[in-house]
Homo-oligomer: A and B are copies of this chain.
Amino acid sequence: VIDYEPPADPSAYSFTHRVRVRFAETDAMGIVHHAAYLPYLEEARVAYLKAIGHPYQQVRSEHGTDFAVIECRVRYLRPLRFDDEVDVHLELGAARRASFAMGYLLTVDGVASCAAVTEHACVDETGRPNRLPDWLRELAAAPRADRVVRPTA
């Protein structure tokens, strides 16, 4: 477990990606099922990698590295509902030799609905640990202010 806590303030994050809640993601309680949040985090992560010039496809094909999820921690603060527009704020949280943490804060109209951390191991096709790509190690070492990115789309 990487010792890292995601910021509670949306403006502290370096990147934001918006998703819209699908009806298929709700459950019989009338709110979004707790498992449906993980694909939101993943979609935001993929958009982030693209925005910083390292699309996940390219990471997989060129570096031969998968960013396997080895841990997730999710705190559900307020329910999400069908058709909500959810801003997924995201940052690269911390890095080690072969793993890193991403932090997330989900907001709807500026109000926090979920805080989350995912931890990832760099692994090759057989599942063996790889070193982090250089760009990722350098990004993790940069001061937070230098890490801000904007979506290209």
Contact = CB atoms under 8 A, between A and B. Distances in A.
A-B pairs, 5 with minimum CB distance: A35-B38, A26-B28, A24-B39, A34-B69, A73-B73
A149 interface: no
A57 B21 CA distance: 12
Given A23-B46, A23-B56, A24-B42, A66 B29 contact: yes
Interface residues of A, number: 39
Contacts of A148: none
Interface of A: 1, 20, 22-31, 33-36, 38-39, 42-43, 46, 55-57, 66, 68-76, 79, 81-83, 127
A117 to B, nearest CB: 9
Nearest to A24: B39
- As for how many copies of this chain the complex holds, the number is 4
Given A25-B39, A34-B72, A70-B76, 20 more contacts: A22-B39, A23-B27, A23-B33, A24-B35, A24-B38, A26-B27, A28-B81, A29-B66, A34-B38, A34-B69, A35-B35, A35-B36, A35-B42, A38-B38, A55-B83, A56-B82, A70-B75, A72-B73, A72-B74, A73-B73
